[in-house]
Chains A and B, each alone.
Chain A
Amino acid sequence: MQFYSRRKKLIGNSQTEQLYGHCLQFYGQPPIENISLSEFETFAVDRLKLLKTVENLGVSYVKTSELYTKKLDAEFSNLNFPYKIEADDWKPQTGPSEYEKRRKDHISHFILRLAYCQTEDLRRWFIQQEIDLFRYRFNDLPSKNIGQFLQYNNLHYHTISIDEKKKLMDKLVTSSFAVSGSTVDGKDFYKVPFQDALDLVRTRKVYLNGGYVYIPHQDIVTIVLNDFRTRLSKALALTARSLPAVQSDERLQPLLNHLSHAYVGQDYSIQKSIGKISLEQIDPLSAKSYPLCMRQLHRGLRDSHHLRHGGRMQYGLFLKGIGLTLDQALQFWRSEFVKGKVDADKFDKAYAYSIRHMFGKEGKRTDYTPYSCMKVILSNPPSQGDQHGCPFRHSDPELLKQKLQSYKVSPSGISQILELVKGMHYQLACQKYFELTHSIEDSGFSLNHPNQYFMESQKLLGGPGAGVKVEVKREDNPEVAAEITEDLDSFFQDA
Chain B
Amino acid sequence: MTTADYDQASLPDLLPLYYRRLFPFSQYHRWLNYGGVTKNYFQNREFSFTLKDDIYVRYQSFSTQNELEKEMQKMNPYKIDIGAVYSHRPNQHNTVKSGSFQALEKELVFDIDMTDYDDVRSCCSGADICPKCWTLMTIAIRILDRALRDDFGFRHCLWVYSGRRGVHCWVCDEAARKLSVAARSAVAEYLSLVKGGDETVRKVVLSDPIHPFITESLTVVENYFSQYALLGQDILGSKEAVDKVLALLPEDILFLCATFHMIFGVHSVASLLAKHALMKTAFFNQMTAKKGHYFEMEIMLQYCYPRLDVNVSKGVNHLLKSPFSVHPKTGRISVPIDLRELDRFDPFEVPTISLICEELDQPKTEEEQDDNMENENKKEAGERRKMRDYKRTSLAKYVKLFDNFLEEMAHSRKGEVLKNSGECNLNP
Contacts and interface: CB of A to CB of B under 8 A. Distances in A.
Given A194-B152, A210-B153, A384 B209 contact: no
A144 interface: no
B198 A385 contact: yes
Interface residues of A, number: 39
A113 B30 CA distance: 46
Nearest to B182: A198
B211 interface: yes
Of A211, A212, A399, most buried by chain B (CB within 10 Å of CB) is A211
Contacts, number: 108
A285 to B, nearest CB: 22
Nearest to B115: A385
Contacts of B179: 195
B280 to A, nearest CB: 24
A197 to B, nearest CB: 9
Contacts of A211: 152-154, 175
Interface in A362-417: 364, 380-387, 389, 391, 394-396, 398-400
Of A198, A209, A399, most buried by chain B (CB within 10 Å of CB) is A198
Interface in B259-316: 307, 309-311
Of A384, A385, A395, most buried by chain B (CB within 10 Å of CB) is A384
A404 to B, nearest CB: 13
A202 B153 contact: no
Contacts of A383: 116, 194-197, 307, 309-310
Contacts of B189: 201-203
Given A201-B186, A208-B151, A211-B153, A394 B213 contact: no
Nearest to B116: A384
Interface in B79-129: 98, 115-119
Nearest to B189: A202
A385 B30 CA distance: 39
Contacts of B187: 201
A396 B203 CA distance: 9
A386 B198 contact: yes
B424 interface: no
Contacts of A380: 311
A204 B213 contact: yes
Contacts of B154: 211
Contacts of B5: none
Interface residues of B, number: 44
A381 B212 CA distance: 25
Contacts of B194: 383-384
A385 B212 CA distance: 29
Nearest to B210: A174
Interface string B310-328: 1100000000000000000
Interface in B197-211: 197-203, 208-211
A469 interface: no
Contacts of A395: 199-200
Contacts of B307: 383-384
A195 to B, nearest CB: 5
B65 interface: no
B54 A201 contact: no
A388 to B, nearest CB: 8
A474 B194 CA distance: 50
B197 A386 contact: yes
Nearest to B201: A396
A381 B118 CA distance: 19
A473 interface: no
Contacts of B212: 171, 174-175, 207
Given A174-B215, A202-B189, A210 B197 contact: no
A199 B54 CA distance: 41
Contacts of A386: 197-198
Interface in B237-262: none
B415 to A, nearest CB: 16
Contacts of A60: none
Contact of B199 (A176, A194, A203, A399): A399
A175 B211 contact: yes
B183 interface: yes
A394 B196 contact: yes
A201 B190 contact: yes
A209 B152 CA distance: 6
B389 to A, nearest CB: 35
Interface string B362-378: 00000000000000000
Contacts of B211: 174-175, 204
B190 A204 contact: yes
A384 B199 contact: no
23 contacts: A174-B211, A175-B212, A198-B182, A201-B186, A202-B185, A203-B189, A204-B213, A204-B214, A208-B190, A208-B213, A209-B153, A211-B154, A211-B175, A364-B98, A383-B195, A384-B118, A384-B307, A387-B198, A391-B199, A394-B199, A396-B196, A396-B202, A399-B199
Interface of A: 171, 173-177, 194-195, 198-199, 201-204, 207-212, 296, 349, 364, 380-387, 389, 391, 394-396, 398-400
Given A209-B150, A211-B175, 12 more contacts: A194-B183, A195-B180, A201-B186, A201-B190, A204-B213, A210-B153, A383-B309, A384-B197, A387-B198, A394-B197, A396-B200, A398-B201
Q: Which 3 A-B pairs have the closest CB atoms?
A: A211-B153, A382-B197, A202-B186
